[in-house]
C-alpha cells in the first residue's frame, strides 16, 4: 500500500511538472498580446496628436483665458472665458 501511494505521488508530481511549460507559454502569449495592444495605442495617440497639430496650423487662432476661481451666485466654481482672436 505504501508503494502504491508513493507511485501515485510521483505520478501527480510528474503531471504538475508537465504543466509548468504550458503555464509559461500562456504567460508568453499574454505578454505578447499586451505588447501589441500597447503599440496600437501608441500609434493611435500619435495619430490624434498629429491631427491636432495640423488642424491648428490650418485653422484660425483660438485662445482660452482662464480667470481662476470665481464665485458665481453662491455656488462657486472655475470660470473659463473663451475669446476668439482674429
* Predicted confidence (pLDDT) per residue in 6-18, tens digit: 889 999 999 999 9
Given a contact cutoff of 8 angstroms between Cβ atoms, the answer to whether 64 and 79 are in contact is no
Interior/surface letters 51-67, b for 16+ CB within 10 angstroms, e for the rest:
eeeeeeeeeeeeeeeee
* Residue 85 within a domain: no
Count the domains in the chain. Answer: 1
| Predicted pLDDT at 78 | 59
Q: What is the pTM of this model?
A: 0.49
Domain range for 28: 2-61
**Per-residue pLDDT tens digits of the chain, which is 86 residues long:** 778 888 899 999 999 999 999 999 999 999 999 999 999 999 999 999 999 999 976 555 556 666 666 666 655 555 555 545 54
* Residue 56 within a domain: yes
* Residue 12 within a domain: yes
* Residue 30 within a domain: yes
| Predicted pLDDT at 70 | 63
* Residue 52 within a domain: yes
Amino acid at each position: 500500500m505504501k508503494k502504491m501511494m508513493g507511485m501515485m505521488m510521483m505520478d501527480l508530481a510528474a503531471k504538475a511538472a508537465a504543466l509548468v511549460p504550458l503555464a509559461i507559454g500562456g504567460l508568453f502569449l499574454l505578454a505578447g498580446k499586451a505588447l501589441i495592444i500597447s503599440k496600437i495605442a501608441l500609434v493611435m495617440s500619435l495619430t490624434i496628436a498629429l491631427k491636432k497639430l495640423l488642424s491648428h496650423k490650418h485653422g484660425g487662432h483660438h485662445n482660452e483665458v482662464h480667470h481662476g476661481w470665481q464665485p458665481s451666485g453662491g455656488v462657486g466654481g472655475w470660470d473659463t472665458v473663451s475669446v476668439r482672436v482674429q
